């Protein structure tokens, strides 16, 4: 008995030694992928607690873990591929002057371009890149979202809190993590979107401008248009005029956003396309600081048009939620707003707050308050054309007209026919704008319609 024990433990010990040596070999094999030069860097830098104090007083950690590096997606990339600007002769011996972490990061920012051209180009077109160009110290560079020394594959699914967006958009992340997508994502993994699923990771655009976010929703929810059609008439127009969270974040406060719109180019007007200073103008027109009234709005639009707008500039309304946090409180479908009266009734809450926007230099919206009465007045018909919700305003004649349009000619009495004829021009204008809106949405409409819309808005 005693005899047989000794060999067993020997075999075990031998096995253990073998396993250990194997482990050592794999570790070396991994390091072996690293060039001599990179190893040399790590001989100094793979040290916990290695730091340097910058002029700003911040401590820059200089410790690079060899283990994490060899497990990263950059394991085959040499330190010098990105750090080509170090002086081999003096490096590590003399101290170099670095102002701040941000200055250092900015100095290194072009190091990703050569190898990741596509992502870099997408990023250049983002609101984040525009903010950095304008001098923002808070907007993200590549390295704010990817640590170059530890970067893992995008396919690795971590906890949602690891999304790089969370640290800067904290309040929104909190709301998102409790909403229908956040909960679904935690419960079932990646089928539900994380921030980049709706906003993109690199070509991030201002959320309330353009149609990017809505297109992202509809790309996943392919049946959504049909599912809404069952109960919501003219779904395309509703989707165009209402941002999805307005109905799907039922507790949110809502507002009307009047977007300055170029009816010829068929896009929102941007401050940088030569339109004179929006803020200066709106401030001047709003002398009492109570929001623009209908006259101010009207003459402002006239001014914008005189400045090269050539009469093609108009306002297009859109219902949206009032804050970024509320846009991320989407509930399950049974709680969504279905009651037409929420919007189509006189004095509806959604129409009590009105804002005017133009795309600012960085693509984000510049806003100015507008008195809610503008939606109710016939004078502003000309400026607020293209946006009109039945019942929610006091322009009664138009209500009749639209109800007529909706009911069709089936049971139209003579009186109504007269009204209809009287307001034919106005109605055609409205219809033309709607057509344009629907066309923009579907992109499949014919050019003939588009021309009709153009002619009508001239």
Enumerate residues 103-122 that contact ligand HEC by CB under 6 A. 105, 108, 111-112, 114-116, 119-120
Residue 11 or 188: which CB sits closer to ligand HEC? Answer: 188
Angstrom distance (rounded) from CA 200 to CA 20: 45
Residue 216 or 285: which CB sits closer to ligand HEC? Answer: 216
**132, 236, 243, 360: which one contacts ligand HEC (CB under 6 A)?**
243
Angstrom distance (rounded) from CA 214 to CA 228: 15
Positions 4 through 23 that interact with ligand HEC (CB under 6 A)? none
CB contact burial 363-377 (16+ within 10 A = b; e otherwise):
bbbbbbbbbbebbbb
Q: 3-state DSSP call for residue 355?
A: strand
Partnered with residue 52 across adjacent β-strands are 60
Write the DSSP assignment of 416-449 as a string of letters: HHHHHHHTHHHHHHHHHHHHHHHHHHHS-S-HHH
Positions 126 through 145 that interact with ligand HEC (CB under 6 A)? 127-128, 131, 136, 138-140, 142-145
- 54 is a site residue for ligand HEC (CB under 6 A): no
Residue 52 or 133: which CB sits closer to ligand HEC? Answer: 52
**255, 259, 281, 328: which one contacts ligand HEC (CB under 6 A)?**
328
User: What is the nearest approach in angstroms of ligand HEC to the Cβ of residue 60?
Assistant: 6
Q: Which residues contact 425 (CB under 8 A, 6 or more apart)?
A: none
Residue 13 or 154: which CB sits closer to ligand HEC? Answer: 154
**203, 210, 212, 238: which one contacts ligand HEC (CB under 6 A)?**
238
Site string for ligand HEC, 252-291 (x = CB under 6 A): ----------------------------------------
Partnered with residue 357 across adjacent β-strands are 259, 367
**130, 242, 292, 401: which one contacts ligand HEC (CB under 6 A)?**
242
Residue 192 or 374: which CB sits closer to ligand HEC? Answer: 192
Positions 396 through 455 that interact with ligand HEC (CB under 6 A)? 402, 406, 434
Cβ–Cβ < 8 Å for 40, 78? no
**Shortest CA distance to 172 belongs to which of 249, 119, 240, 238?**
249
Which of 1-9, 239-247, 265-273, 281-289 is the region at the interface with ligand HEC (rule: CB under 6 A)? 239-247
Positions 165 through 204 that interact with ligand HEC (CB under 6 A)? 165-169, 172-173, 176, 180-181, 184, 191-193, 195-199, 201-202, 204
Tell me how many residues contact ligand HEC (CB under 6 A): 131
- Retrieve residue 212's tokens: 């990017």
User: What is the nearest approach in angstroms of ligand HEC to the Cβ of residue 41?
Assistant: 3
Q: In what helix (H) or strand (E) does residue 367 lie, and over which residues does it extend?
A: strand 365-370
Q: Please give the C-alpha separations between residue 246 and each of 70, 238, 328, 331, 440, in angstroms, as whole numbers.
A: 47, 11, 11, 11, 20
Which of 7-15, 159-167, 277-285, 416-424 is the region at the interface with ligand HEC (rule: CB under 6 A)? 159-167
- 375 is a site residue for ligand HEC (CB under 6 A): no
Which of 7-15, 149-157, 263-271, 307-315 is the region at the interface with ligand HEC (rule: CB under 6 A)? 149-157
User: What is the nearest approach in angstroms of ligand HEC to the Cβ of residue 424?
Assistant: 16
**Shortest CA distance to 170 belongs to which of 205, 138, 192, 200?**
138
> Could you tell me the end-to-end alpha-carbon distance of the chain, in angstroms, rounded to an integer?
105
**15, 17, 23, 154: which one contacts ligand HEC (CB under 6 A)?**
154
Positions 199 through 228 that interact with ligand HEC (CB under 6 A)? 199, 201-202, 204, 206-208, 213-214, 216-218, 220-221, 224, 227-228
Handedness of CA 135, 139, 145, 150 (dihedral sign): positive
| Burial class, 388, CB count within 10 angstroms (exposed 0-12 / middle 13-18 / buried 19+) | buried
Angstrom distance (rounded) from CA 440 to CA 357: 19
- 315 is a site residue for ligand HEC (CB under 6 A): no
**Shortest CA distance to 181 belongs to which of 160, 201, 200, 166?**
160
Positions 386 through 405 that interact with ligand HEC (CB under 6 A)? 387-390, 402
- 232 is a site residue for ligand HEC (CB under 6 A): yes
**56, 90, 96, 273: which one contacts ligand HEC (CB under 6 A)?**
96
Cβ–Cβ < 8 Å for 231, 307? no
Cβ–Cβ < 8 Å for 84, 41? no
Angstrom distance (rounded) from CA 98 to CA 107: 10
**12, 17, 23, 40: which one contacts ligand HEC (CB under 6 A)?**
40
**82, 419, 426, 452: which one contacts ligand HEC (CB under 6 A)?**
82
**Shortest CA distance to 28 belongs to which of 17, 39, 14?**
39
Positions 336 through 365 that interact with ligand HEC (CB under 6 A)? 336-338, 340, 342-344, 350, 364
């Amino acid at each position: 008995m005693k005899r047989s024990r000794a060999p067993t433990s020997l075999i075990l010990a031998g096995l253990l030694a073998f396993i250990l040596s194997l482990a050592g070999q794999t570790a070396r094999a991994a390091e072996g992928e690293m060039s001599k030069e990179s190893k040399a860097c790590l001989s100094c830098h793979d040290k916990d607690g290695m730091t340097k104090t910058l002029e700003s007083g911040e401590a820059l950690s200089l410790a690079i873990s060899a283990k994490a590096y060899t497990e990263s997606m950059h394991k085959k990339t040499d330190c010098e591929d990105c750090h080509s600007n170090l002086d081999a002769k003096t490096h590590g011996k003399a101290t170099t002057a670095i102002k701040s972490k941000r200055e250092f990061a900015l100095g290194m920012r072009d190091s990703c371009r050569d190898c990741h051209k596509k992502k870099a180009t997408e990023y250049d077109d983002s609101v984040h890149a525009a903010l950095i160009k304008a001098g923002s110290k808070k907007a993200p560079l590549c390295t704010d979202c990817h640590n170059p020394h530890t970067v893992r594959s995008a396919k690795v699914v971590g906890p949602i809190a690891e999304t790089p967006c969370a640290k800067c958009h904290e309040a929104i992340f909190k709301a998102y993590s409790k909403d229908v997508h956040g909960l679904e994502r935690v419960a079932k993994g990646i089928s539900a979107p994380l921030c980049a699923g709706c906003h993109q990771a690199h070509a991030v655009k201002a959320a309330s401008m353009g149609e990017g976010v809505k297109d992202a929703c509809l790309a996943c929810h392919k049946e959504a248009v049909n599912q809404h059609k069952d109960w919501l008439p003219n779904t395309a127009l509703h989707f165009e005029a209402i941002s999805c969270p307005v109905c799907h974040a039922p507790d949110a406060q809502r507002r009307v956003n009047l977007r300055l719109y170029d009816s010829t180019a068929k896009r929102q007007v941007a401050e940088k396309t030569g339109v004179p200073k929006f803020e200066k103008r709106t401030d001047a027109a709003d002398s009492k600081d109570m929001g623009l009234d209908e006259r101010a709005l009207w003459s402002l639009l006239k001014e914008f048009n005189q400045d090269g707008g050539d009469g093609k500039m108009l306002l297009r309304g859109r219902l949206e939620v009032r804050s970024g946090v509320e846009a991320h409180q989407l509930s399950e479908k049974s709680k969504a707003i279905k009651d037409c009266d929420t919007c189509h009734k006189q004095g509806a809450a959604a129409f009590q707050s009105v804002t005017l926007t133009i795309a600012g230099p960085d693509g984000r919206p510049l806003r100015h308050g507008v008195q809610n009465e503008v939606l109710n007045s016939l004078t502003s018909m000309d400026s607020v054309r293209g946006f009109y919700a039945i019942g929610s305003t006091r322009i009664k004649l138009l209500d009749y007209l639209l109800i007529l349009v909706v009911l069709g000619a089936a049971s139209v009495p003579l009186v109504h026919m007269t009204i209809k004829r009287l307001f034919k021009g106005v109605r055609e204008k409205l219809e033309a704008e709607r057509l344009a809106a629907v066309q923009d949405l579907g992109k499949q409409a014919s050019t003939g319609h588009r021309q009709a819309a153009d002619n009508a808005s001239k």
